[in-house]
Amino acid sequence: MIQNHSRTKIDRQRVKRRVSHIFKKLGYLKSEISILFIDDIEMRVLNKRYRGKDKTTDVLSFSQIDGYKNSKLRTLNTELLLGDVVISVETAKRQAKERGHSFNREVLILLTHGILHLLGYDHEGDRKKAVEMRRKEKELMSLGVSELGS
């Protein structure tokens, strides 16, 4: 499910294709997520409530499957709701401009990052885990590069 609470148009089909590509590559064919696009004000509230940080951020993930190992999840032959990915549209626009690529590409980068968090990848506190997550992000971002835009 994709909800857009921002004033910016979101290419929902592109987002759905990206999620499908990622799930196929990672072996989560029967999985789904909820995606919410919001503004910085809403994101700041969520970030303070759930992470104790009184500032906006680009993406938050709320896993429904904490405690499972990735390999065990893939072997469960059932539909899984992995959780929620929340993206700040305003922050995505700023980051896209700073990084010299399109807003659509930034949204897909953040979506990929958020999905990996849902699956237990992390980049905070452990250098080895951070390297593993960055490697997986690069691998997934190489999928369907032509659909990402500039």
Contact of 59 with 85, CB cutoff 8 Å: yes
- Of 48 and 81, the structure prediction assigns the larger pLDDT to 48
- Residue 144: per-residue pLDDT: 60
Burial 1-12 (b: 16+ CB within 10 A, else e): eeebebeeebee
Residue 92: CB atoms within 10 A of its CB come to 25
As a CATH number, domain 2-144 is 3.40.390.30
Nearest partner of 111 among 17, 24, 29, judged by Cα: 17
Closest listed residue to residue 83, CA positions, set 120, 55, 51: 120
Higher pLDDT, 12 or 125: 12
pLDDT exceeds 70 at position 123: yes
- Give the model's confidence band at 146: pLDDT under 50 very low, under 70 low, under 90 confident, else very high: very low
Q: Which of 45-54, 58-67, 141-150 has the highest mean pLDDT?
A: 45-54
Can you give the residue ranges of every domain in the chain?
2-144
Encode 28-53: b = buried (16+ Cβ within 10 Å), e = exposed: beebebebbbbbbebbbebbeeeeee
d(C-alpha 150, C-alpha 147), whole Å: 9
**pLDDT per position as a tens digit, 55-101:** 999 999 998 876 554 544 554 556 778 899 999 999 999 999 999 99
Read off the tokens for 12: 């929902």
**Which of 39-53, 109-123, 125-139 is least confident?**
125-139
**Structure-token pair, residue 113:** 């990052």
